[in-house]
Amino acid sequence: MATEKLINLAKTIRSKNAGTDKITFDIIFREKENYELVKKSGVLTPETICKLYGISQERIVDFVEFDPAYAIKFTIYRQRPSGSPGESDVFGCQQYAPLLDLEIPLE
């Protein structure tokens, strides 16, 4: 089965702080076709997020497919508050990398 990496289908993949205790992720598509392809593939789900980030389902605050913006957004609880000792990404902006290589079936 032919696949394409998420990074090649999405316009923007990013993460950022959502308060001190959460990190939010945005996956935004330029074209409706790519958005629908990813959405209908069933690859990007809360279960996938748990596997990619090695977290439990309880750490996922929300997971939204937002059709008007061709965007998929999810938010997770941090293990430690932003800026606390042992926390390595104060702004939460370096957490998106595992999403880039996610393989999406093209059928």
71 DSSP β-pair partners? 28, 66
- How much is the pLDDT for 99? 97
Total-model pTM:
0.93
Taking the C-alpha atoms of residue 99 and residue 97, their distance in angstroms, rounded to an integer, is 5
14 DSSP β-pair partners? 26
The answer to whether the Cα torsion of 96, 52, 36, 1 is positive or negative is positive
Helix (H, G, I), strand (E, B) or coil at 11: coil
8 Å CB contact between 28 and 12: yes
- How much is the pLDDT for 107? 77
**Residue corresponding to tokens 């935004």:** 28
Helix (H, G, I), strand (E, B) or coil at 46: helix
Average confidence (pLDDT) per 10 residues, the chain, 107 residues: 96 96 98 97 96 96 97 96 90 95 93
**What are the Cα distances from residue 34, in Å, to 48, 50, 72, 96, 100?**
19, 23, 12, 19, 15
Q: Which fold has domain 6-82?
A: Alpha-Beta Plaits (3.30.70)
